[in-house]
Amino acid sequence: MDELLFQDIDEPGLNTIEVYERRGGYETLKKALRELDGEQVLAELQASGVRGRGGAGFAMGTKAGFLPKGTMDKYLCCNADESEPGTFKDRELMQKNPHQLVEGIILASYAAGINKAFIYIRGEYDAQASILEAAVREAYEHGHLGENIHGSGFGVSLVVHRGAGAYICGEETALLDSLEGKRGNPRLKPPFPANAGLFQGPTLINNVETLSNVSHIVKHGGEWYAKIGTEKSTGTKLVSVSGCVQRPGNYEIELGIPAREIIFGLAGGPLPGREIKAWFPGGSSSPLLTPDEFDLPYDFDSIAGAGSMLGSGAIIVIDDSVSIVDVALRTASFYKHESCGKCTPCREGTNWTTKMLQRVADGDATPMDLDLIAGVQQQIMGNCLCVLGDAMAMPVSSMVNKFRDEFEAHLEAARASRTPLADAPAKLDLVGGLVPGVIA
Amino acid sequence: MSVPREVTRHEDAIPQLADVNVPDELKTWIEQRMAMYPDPKSATIPCLMQAQKLHGWLSPDAVRQVAAVMRVTPAYLVSVASFYDMFELQERGRHTIYMCTNISCMLRGADAVMAELEAAVGVSDGDVSDDGIFLRRFECLGACDIAPMASVDGVYVGPLTVDDAKQLVEDLRAERDVLPAKHLTKRPVAATFWSGGAPAGSGAGEA
């Protein structure tokens, strides 16, 4: 497979417009503006079948087609708030090839008739935001952005907007509120952003990696792109591999190759003397998979078929030196910290799940608490404005269910190390019942 | 008095520019930023960040300065700032260390590095040392390829060993470039890096 997004990614100066243009950059844009109308560009995107790389995997061309026609202010928001634990692919794309993204944004705007575009980048990506700002400045100077681009009559503006540290702003409607200068609370859908998004105008929201694909799709045609990958998961995918592997990092793969090839082939497999016991296939929000699922084709539908999700394409590998109890607690506390607090099931559910898992970790729980934890997750899923709560409930459920034995063994070990009740001094709290910890 | 239409426009509570001493540079920055959006209020987060850079934290003065230029109430700005992790509504030091302790970094030993940072800086999570180093645990910073990692004054460094933690704090105290060999931005893409730094594009993507 030839690389698409990562082609010559470390070529010195690729982040500058000189090198990018020398390599043929922005030629696709000029050609498209000269020879195609917006509808034709949109048709190529639709034919490519490219699915959103941010997590949901929704077909990009279809989403762009939802925007109403006609002349009005329409917006594009590039979601560069990459915050899903384990995900770091957009960072590398923006840092090393920002113009690939900028060209993709201009082409996508042309396709959907958009005249105002924004890149919402997480505030922590300081170096990358500065690089993007420089790239946007250069693109303006070379006439690729602004009004009447290359005499086509089409114009679009682009602003790099930095966030300030909130995972929830990667959720598309929270991103819109944040971009409007508010707290990043998700909105009730419908209306969907395609109809009433940023400033209540029609808005297209796409991930950095998705938009970075656009110039390649327009250059080679949607049909060509659709031949890469599988029938329903077209194209290449950047996979961020991290955790207990020998060679962590971003790898560009053709969608549909076995997960084993990524984890063992590219990332080098487990650290010496260790064995892999579980892996997140798509960020910390995806339900855990086990070693007997290494041969799954790594594409959207196969991973979904196994009860998990491809998500952002972040594989986090967990080996036998790590306690699943610790992983569950760390996962839950992250979502507890990041819950915006707007919907009760998420706000309370993430909070109480974390408290219960802390008790499990401390050994102050019984196997019945595991059932309670699993039950709480059911109460969260599908009951909130956005999926942040689900993003905790799904992996935590999978851990408690698939690794129940390990949780119980942990509790049993804690129980066995306690002073037997008969030998313990009688300690009764009249309000709260027996003091936790004395119950052996 | 009429009932204000929205809290951000409660005229009585908006500081007057004449009463607030806004540094010219900040005022210009905010005005330019506001002009970049269809609705100037969109500039809220970038403007607060600019004020925080200038003042070191979002002091009441800093907030009033932004409020006076943006014509919104300080209360509105604080309500926004309190939502986001990178805004500091309490005084912090000259230097900031965000240590990632999320899953990928945890799996590679972040807790031990954090413990060493706490010992070296002499404060626990969320505190500022006497010599002005602010240390806190942070959620995934998006650099799990160099796990365990930290963001030191916005510069990503990793992978960190326990010994690196001591060196990092020494470098900060000496006002030197922190762990120059471990800057993320100097690292080539994984396939190149792990094949020993061969030229970009060779062998990448192949198992």
User: Domain ends where: B23, B47, B81?
Assistant: B81
Name the pLDDT band for B199 (thresholds 50, 70, 90). very low
Domains and CATH numbers, chain A: 17-226 (3.40.50.11540), 236-319 (3.10.20.600), 324-423 (1.20.1440.230)
For residue A203, report the phi and psi dihedrals to the nearest 5 degrees: -140, 135
Strand partners, A79: A120, A207
Cβ-Cβ contacts under 8 Å, A181 against chain B: 39, 41-45, 80
In sequence order, the 6+-apart residues with CB closer than 8 A to the CB of B175 are: none
pLDDT digits (tens, 9 = 90+) for A11-44: 999 999 999 999 999 999 999 999 999 999 999 9
Q: How many structural domains are present in chain B?
A: 2
Cβ-Cβ contacts under 8 Å, B140 against chain A: 83-87, 284, 334
- Same domain, yes or no: B144 and B169: yes
Question: Looking at CA atoms only, how far is residue B116 from chain A in angstroms?
Answer: 20
Inter-chain CB proximity B44 and A253 less than 8 Å: no
**Residue A419 vs residues A158, A354, A368, A434, B171: alpha-carbon distances, Å:** 66, 26, 21, 15, 48
- Same domain, yes or no: B120 and B56: no
- What DSSP string describes B14-28? SPPGGGS---HHHHH
- Same domain, yes or no: B74 and B141: no
Mutate to test the interface with B, among A87, A126, A182, A399 (most CBs of B within 10 A): A182
Structural domain includes residue B174: yes
Could you tell me if A165 lies within 8 Å of chain B, comparing CB atoms?
A: yes
Residue of B nearest to A341 (CA): B83
- Same domain, yes or no: B59 and B21: yes
Structure tokens at A403: 């690794």
Q: Assign residue A141 a region: left if phi > 0, alpha if psi is -120 to 50, beta otherwise?
A: alpha
- Same domain, yes or no: B100 and B174: yes
Q: Assign residue A222 a region: left if phi > 0, alpha if psi is -120 to 50, beta otherwise?
A: alpha
- Same domain, yes or no: B128 and B152: yes
Mutate to test the interface with A, among B47, B145, B206 (most CBs of A within 10 A): B145
- Same domain, yes or no: B49 and B138: no
Cβ-Cβ contacts under 8 Å, A284 against chain B: 102-103, 140
Residue B4: predicted pLDDT: 45
Asked whether the CA dihedral A84, A87, A90, A96 is positive or negative, the reply is positive
For a pLDDT cut of 90, what percent of chain B falls above it? 88
Question: 3-state SS string over A7-39?
Answer: CCCCCCCCCCHHHHHHCCCCHHHHHHHHHCCHH
Mutate to test the interface with B, among A319, A326, A330, A339 (most CBs of B within 10 A): A330
- Same domain, yes or no: B110 and B67: no
Structural domain includes residue B166: yes
Provide the pairing of β-strand A236-243 with A116-121. Answer: unpaired
pLDDT digits (tens, 9 = 90+) for B69-120: 999 999 999 999 999 999 999 999 999 999 999 999 999 999 999 999 999 9
Contact A265, B207 (CB under 8 A): yes
Mutate to test the interface with A, among B50, B83, B138, B195 (most CBs of A within 10 A): B83
**Residue A346 vs residues A64, A301, A336, A361, B95: alpha-carbon distances, Å:** 30, 27, 8, 22, 34
Could you tell me if A79 lies within 8 Å of chain B, comparing CB atoms?
A: no
Q: Do you find a cis peptide bond into A68, omega within 30 degrees of 0?
A: no
User: Domain ends where: B81, B104, B122?
Assistant: B81
Residue B130's domain spans which residues? Answer: 95-193
Closest residue by Cα to residue A263 from A314, A332, A209, A217: A314
- Same domain, yes or no: B102 and B151: yes
Name the pLDDT band for B198 (thresholds 50, 70, 90). very low
Query: Which positions 90-129 of B are in contact with A (Cβ < 8 Å)?
Result: 98, 101-104, 106-108
Residue of B nearest to A162 (CA): B46
Cβ-Cβ contacts under 8 Å, A1 against chain B: 205
- Same domain, yes or no: B153 and B130: yes
Structural domain includes residue B41: yes
Q: Could you report how far apart the first and last alpha carbons of chain B are, in Å?
A: 72
Contact B20, B81 (CB under 8 A): no
Question: Looking at CA atoms only, how far is residue B98 from chain A in angstroms?
Answer: 10
Question: Looking at CA atoms only, how far is residue A3 from chain B in angstroms?
Answer: 7
Q: DSSP state, B125? A: T
Inter-chain CB proximity B103 and A95 less than 8 Å: no
Residue B196: predicted pLDDT: 82
Inter-chain CB proximity A327 and B103 less than 8 Å: yes
Contact B50, B44 (CB under 8 A): no
Inter-chain CB proximity B201 and A3 less than 8 Å: yes
Strand partners, A237: A253
- Same domain, yes or no: B104 and B188: yes
Task: Name which of B42, B85, B156 is nearest A179 (Cβ-Cβ).
Answer: B42
Structural domain includes residue B86: no
Could you tell me if B71 lies within 8 Å of chain A, comparing CB atoms?
A: no
User: Domain ends where: B16, B46, B81?
Assistant: B81
- Same domain, yes or no: B70 and B101: no
Structural domain includes residue B27: yes
Q: Which CATH number goes with the domain that contains B154?
A: 3.40.30.10
Provide the pairing of β-strand A157-162 with A116-121. Answer: parallel
Residue A418: predicted pLDDT: 82
Inter-chain CB proximity A162 and B44 less than 8 Å: no
Question: 3-state SS string over chain A?
Answer: CCCCCCCCCCCCCCCCHHHHHHCCCCHHHHHHHHHCCHHHHHHHHHHHCCECCCCCCCEHHHHHHCCCCCCCCCEEEEEECCCCCCCCHHHHHHHHCHHHHHHHHHHHHHHHCCCEEEEEECCCCHHHHHHHHHHHHHHHHCCCCECCHHHCCCCEEEEEEECCCCHHHHCHHHHHHHHCCCCCCCCCCCCCCCCCCHHHCCEEEEEHHHHHHHHHHHHHCHHHHHCCECCCCECEEEEEEEECCCCCEEEEEECCCEHHHHHHHHCCCCCCCCCEEEEECCCCCCCCECHHHCCCECCHHHHHHCCCCCCCCEEEEEECCCCHHHHHHHHHHHHHHHCCCCCHHHHHHHHHHHHHHHHHHHCCCCHHHHHHHHHHHHHHCCCCCCCHHHHHHHHHHHHHHHCHHHHHHHHHHHHHCCCCHHHCCCCEECCCEECCCCCC
Structural domain includes residue B103: yes
Could you tell me if A120 lies within 8 Å of chain B, comparing CB atoms?
A: no
Question: Looking at CA atoms only, how far is residue B49 from chain A in angstroms?
Answer: 8
Q: Which CATH number goes with the domain that contains B69?
A: 1.10.10
- Give SS3 for B12: helix
Structural domain includes residue B141: yes
Residue B204: predicted pLDDT: 35
pLDDT in tens, chain A (440 residues): 789 999 999 999 999 999 999 999 999 999 999 999 999 999 999 999 999 999 899 999 999 999 999 999 999 999 999 999 999 999 999 999 999 999 999 999 999 999 999 999 999 999 999 999 999 999 999 999 999 999 999 999 999 999 999 999 999 999 999 999 999 999 999 999 999 999 999 999 999 999 999 999 999 999 999 999 999 999 999 999 999 999 999 999 999 999 999 999 999 999 999 999 999 999 999 999 999 999 999 999 999 999 999 999 999 999 999 999 999 999 999 999 999 999 999 999 999 999 999 999 999 999 999 999 999 999 999 999 999 999 999 999 999 999 999 999 999 999 998 876 666 665 555 555 555 554 44
Could you tell me if A212 lies within 8 Å of chain B, comparing CB atoms?
A: no
Tell me the C-alpha distance between A200 and A72, whole Å: 12
Residue of A nearest to B140 (CA): A85
Inter-chain CB proximity B107 and A178 less than 8 Å: no
Chains A, B: CB pairs < 8 Å: 192
Structural domain includes residue B1: no
Could you tell me if A96 lies within 8 Å of chain B, comparing CB atoms?
A: yes
Q: From the CB of residue A413, how many other CB atoms can be counted at a distance below 10 Å?
A: 10
- B127 or B9, greater pLDDT: B127
